[in-house]
């Protein structure tokens, strides 16, 4: 009898733990994009042709026929607010894109172009130029970029390439 009580208790705890797990919410916004939000935050707004992503967020953009995931910031050397710096610095965002008929690719988009350091504001993928337009928040002098981990938000703009309509994958 004691074994049955233990097995029943373990089963109930297992079921309670399954119910407490985070659930992925998938919604379709007015602009025709399907948003899969795993963190439970509000859906970012698209304005002026710029699509906004919170760190870790994934969206399927129906208009561009691709899934876009903001993986994170790999480098943030921007000058903190209230500090005088010699160089303005750069933030590099890792954005994974996957077309409907293509393999995923991680693009490293920077806030400024610098060919010598391999920083590029824009990359071409599946006939679209994908450009990093905004990275927020800005680092503070006390915590720096480490304090912002997981709190980043980026704005990306998609522009159709005029001559490339074949749907090939280029970088």
Q: pLDDT of 17-50, one tens digit each?
A: 555 444 444 444 444 444 444 443 344 446 567 8
Q: What is the pLDDT of residues 124-155, one digit of tens each?
A: 998 899 999 988 887 776 655 555 676 788 89
Report residue 43: phi and psi, to 5°: -75, 130
Q: Does this model's pTM top 0.75?
A: no
- What does the pLDDT read at residue 106? 93
User: With 0-12 CB in 10 A as exposed, 13-18 as middle and 19+ as buried, what is 22?
Assistant: exposed
Residues 6+ away with beta carbon under 8 Å from 40? 22, 25
Report residue 5: phi and psi, to 5°: -65, -40
The pLDDT mean for the chain works out to 74
| Contact in structure between 61 and 70 (CB atoms under 8 Å) | no
């Amino acid at each position: 009898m004691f074994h049955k009580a233990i097995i029943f208790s373990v089963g109930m705890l297992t079921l309670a733990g399954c119910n407490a797990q985070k659930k992925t919410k998938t919604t379709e916004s007015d602009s025709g994009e399907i948003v899969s939000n795993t963190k439970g935050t509000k859906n970012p707004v698209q304005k002026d042709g710029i699509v906004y992503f919170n760190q870790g967020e994934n969206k399927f953009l129906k208009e561009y026929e691709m899934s876009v995931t903001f993986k994170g910031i790999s480098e943030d050397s921007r000058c903190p607010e209230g500090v005088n710096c010699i160089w303005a610095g750069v933030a590099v965002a890792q954005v994974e894109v996957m077309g409907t008929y293509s393999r995923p690719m991680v693009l490293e988009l920077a806030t400024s172009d610098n060919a010598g350091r391999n920083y590029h504001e824009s990359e071409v993928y599946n006939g679209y130029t994908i450009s990093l337009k905004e990275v927020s928040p800005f680092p503070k002098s006390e915590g720096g970029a480490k304090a912002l981990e997981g709190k980043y938000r980026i704005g990306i703009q998609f522009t159709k390439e005029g001559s490339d309509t074949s749907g090939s994958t280029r970088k």
